[in-house]
Amino acid sequence: MWSLAKTLFTRIGRVPERYRPSKELEDRLKAVTPFENNRYVVEKSTAEQLKQQNIILEEMCIYCKVVVAECDQVGRLKYCYECGHIKPDRARHCSSCGKCCIKYDHHCPWINMCVTHANYKYFLLYIIYTSLLVYWYLLTSLEGVVRYFIIQKWTEDLWKILYYVFSYIAGGIFGYYPLGELIIFHYQLISLNETTVEQTKPAVLRFDNAADYNMGKPNNFRAVFGWGLWMCPIESNDQDGLHFDIRYVNTKQCNRFVRIEEEPSSSAPSAESSSQ
């Protein structure tokens, strides 16, 4: 219940206001983006429009004083036309909530809210502890079956054994799917440092299309669960959800984005990305 409460009441990680450009830059970008059926359709942009869009987006980054490493499939920096801001790395727009979230994983229909950088650890602990509760129930329910065969009141206790069998099957199914499958699925995601949406649509990083966020399993788990107390639903993550370490594959490409930790006394963000 503690993990569930933290999942539900932890403030969703939204994109900071500093990623919002000026109205002039926003109007210039929209002017060179195709507009159909009351929405901006970037996919239908011509080569010249894409070039102009990228120039304006670079100007937006300079205006906002932010650095982003991700781009779309055509090398264009990512911008949300609905929310009106540059998308930080790993941020996505949630169609259910109508807003962008930082390090967006998915919108969970069970709890009717987004799972993001801010509450991902608590969500994982919620499904882990719920699964353990179901497995404990299944284990302790075996006592009723054993008693039935020891006492041997076949007719009198028939309704009891039928109840045990039904509840055991129902609990077993629920313990495996979706709870067990969710644990296995998210374990695989964390091992690769991916989110649910990134598994279906991998992030594209500038300078190296083969680059990703996989920094090795120990570092990947630490990025999610933090410095310690992994099984406690308390804040232990030391990352800001906006800047991430990147593993580059192409050794011939010299340009790199590097995540730099800043001093706690600095008024700037706790982590920043820079291009080298």
Task: Just list the catalytic residues.
Answer: 108
**In the structure encoding, which two tokens stand for residue 248, read together?**
């580059």
Contact, 144 vs 151, CB < 8 A? no
Cα–Cα separations (whole angstroms), residue 144 to 46, 154, 161, 173, 239? 70, 13, 7, 19, 48
Helix extents (H) in the chain: 2-9, 23-31, 47-64, 120-151, 158-174, 181-192, 196-200, 217-225
- The C-alpha atoms of residue 111 and residue 7 are separated, in whole angstroms, by 9
DSSP state of 6: H
- Element containing residue 79 per DSSP (H, E): strand 79-80
- The C-alpha atoms of residue 184 and residue 190 are separated, in whole angstroms, by 10
List CB contacts of 220: < 8 A, sequence separation 6 or more.
Answer: 190, 191, 192, 193, 214
